[in-house]
Amino acid sequence: MSLKRTLVGIVRSQESTSDRVKDPQMKTRYYNLSRDKAWEEVTSILKKIPGYKVLHEVASVGEITLEKRTAFGRTVDITVSILSVSPVRSAVDIYSASRGSLGDLGANYRIILQLFTMIDKKLSAYKVVQ
């Protein structure tokens, strides 16, 4: 992680992925799977990660909410969205925000990269290269 990302994290306590971000690691991930199949795969991955607690999941909307405690005792809320792009293609976006008033020193950025690494590893056969 770069020094710039850490400095930005001093004042910023949230991070999210989208198609419009400049950082290629923070771009939305696409998979050649139906939304239902992607939902099953992603939720099974997220439920098995140690240190993360699933708070809420809504299959009809395609959102799962997680909670994680950092090493410094802060709580991080994470929302993973699984969207249907077409009948055979899905997109995965992640939003992560720390509770509290100060920045997170890049913790949300690292959490998103960690989750994407796990999801990409499991769904590598279906990943759409952009």
Taken in order of first residue, the domains within the chain and their CATH numbers are 3-126 (3.30.530.20)
Question: For residue 71, what are its two tokens?
Answer: 């090493």
Distance between CA atoms of residues 107 and 22, nearest Å? 18
H-only helix segments in the chain:
3-11, 35-48, 107-122
Specify the pTM: 0.91
Determine the 3-state secondary structure of 114 from DSSP.
Answer: helix
pLDDT, one tens digit per residue, over 7-55 is 776 778 899 999 999 889 999 999 999 999 999 999 999 999 999 999 9
Question: For residue 113, what are its two tokens?
Answer: 């990269």
The closest alpha carbon to 124, from 6, 41, 68, 22, belongs to 41
Determine the 3-state secondary structure of 21 from DSSP.
Answer: coil
Determine the 3-state secondary structure of 53 from DSSP.
Answer: strand
Q: For the chain, give the number of residues.
A: 130
pLDDT level of residue 65 (50, 70, 90 thresholds): very high
pLDDT level of residue 68 (50, 70, 90 thresholds): very high
